[in-house]
Structure formats: structure tokens, C-alpha cells
Amino acid sequence: MSQATMTRRYPEMEGKVALVTGGTSGIGLATAQAFAHEGATVIIASRSEKRSKSALKVIGEKADWIACDVTNGGQVERLVASIVERHGRLDYAFNNGGSGGAGRPVGNMSEDAWRKTIDGYLTSAFLCMRHEIPAMLANGGGVIVNNSSVDGLRGYPFPGGAAYAAAKHGVLGLTRSAALEYAKSGLRISAICPGWIDTPPVHGGIKRDSQFAASIIAQEPIGRLGTASEVANGVLWLCSDAASFALGSPLILDGGYMA
């Protein structure tokens, strides 16, 4: 038995198929790596082929990339159909990919920026679920985890984040409602709510603004940012058989912020 096999926590993931949107960096990449470590075949979906090449080298040989803009329903439909055609099944999906418009206080936010943010973080989750659910049900079930945020549980702490918070609140409403719709079908739907995580965008903000860095650390009772791997650990637990009674309610990973 190899060392990698010995340290696997979820042997039931061996041979399964996992989709991670936004899987080329940060939380998505860490989650894709974690699925691959457990023996799953991993498909990462994103818009950037250049980033995907670097990500695939990190994830390993049991990984593939499919181009997809998750705000485009046709592309999402083709993504899921391609996975089923190539691999015959879809067992796990982490709907993590997202993007938004320029943040502004509500009174001077443009309609275009609002729509880009809602589409980028909320409509994208709906579109993914819309096509993942039938694919999973055709194979007897599966697990979907949506990436929300602590900003889906409270107001955004800085000016300009209202649209993002609204989208992430929406992700939780979508998750809870869909989880109830499919609770008896063999399909589990859950969400995670990360706090401040050391991802490339957050790291960039910290480097640019020391005051911003101090303010977000002050929001974390644990005294530090979370890591992408810590969030990935939560996603894999939700997907595992160990979480068989967990559905609908979000898993909060925030270093104590919401406590």
C-alpha cells in the first residue's frame, strides 16, 4: 500500500468523478488537489487555459480542464455533458467559480456592475446546479457544495460590497431550498461559508494596503487568515460519507468570526 493511499481519509472517493469550477487557483485549486489525493478523477472548469496548465501540473495526472464561463448556461450545459460523456458519471461538484462587477456603495453602483456581480456569484451557482442535478440523479445521486461566504450571513463590512453580499445570501437561499427539494433523492446539497482566506485576491489586497490587512485580521478571533487547504478540507468532508446526514445548512469556516 502506497503512502498516499495510507493517508487517504475518504476511501469512498476512489474512482469517483469530481467537478470544481474556478479550480485553477485559491480555494478551487486546493479542493481539486484534495479530491485528487483521495483518488477521484477531477475536472476543473475555468475561463483561462493558461492558468489551467499550471493547475493541472499541481493536481496530477487524474485531472482535466474544460473551458467554461459559469455565467453562460450553454457553456455550463456543455461542461456537464462533456464530463458525463468522458467519464460516465458525476459524483461531486464544488461550485466555486465566480466573478463580479466594480464594487460601489448602493447609492452610486451601476446597474451593470450589480448584474455582473449577481450573475457572477449567484446565477452561476444556479446554472451549475441546473445541469449537475440531472446528471447526478441519473447515476443514483451525488453531492453538490456551493461556495457562499460569511458575507452570505451578514452585511459586507466595507463600503461597496452590497452586491457581493446579496449574491452570497442568495447562494444560501438557493442551497437550502434545493437541498429540501432533493433530500430524499440520494442527492445532498450543502454550502460552505468561508471567512477571510489567504487567496490571491485577498493576498493582493493585503500587499497593497496595510490598513486593510490589519482590519481583516482584527475580524478573525483566531488571529490569522484561513488557508485554502482548510476550506478544501471542509468541502471534502461535506462530500464524504462521513457527512451523510448533513444537507442544506452551511458549514461556516471563519476562524470564529460569526461566533
Which residue matches cell numbers 453538490? 144
Q: Which residues contact 246 (CB under 8 A, 6 or more apart)?
A: 188, 190, 238
Q: Please identify every residue annotated as catalytic.
A: 164
Phi, psi of 67 (to 5 degrees): -65, 135
φ/ψ bin of 160: left (φ > 0), alpha (ψ from -120 to 50), beta (otherwise): left
Is 239:180 a contact under the CB 8 Å cutoff?
Answer: no
Q: What is the rounded CA–CA span in Å between residue 27 and residue 196?
A: 12
Which residue matches cell numbers 479550480? 23
Own/partner long-range contacts of 107-116 (Cβ < 8 Å, ≥24 apart): 109/160, 109/162, 109/163, 113/163, 114/163
**184 CB neighbour count, 10 Å cutoff:** 7
Is 179:189 a contact under the CB 8 Å cutoff?
Answer: yes
Is 8:39 a contact under the CB 8 Å cutoff?
Answer: yes
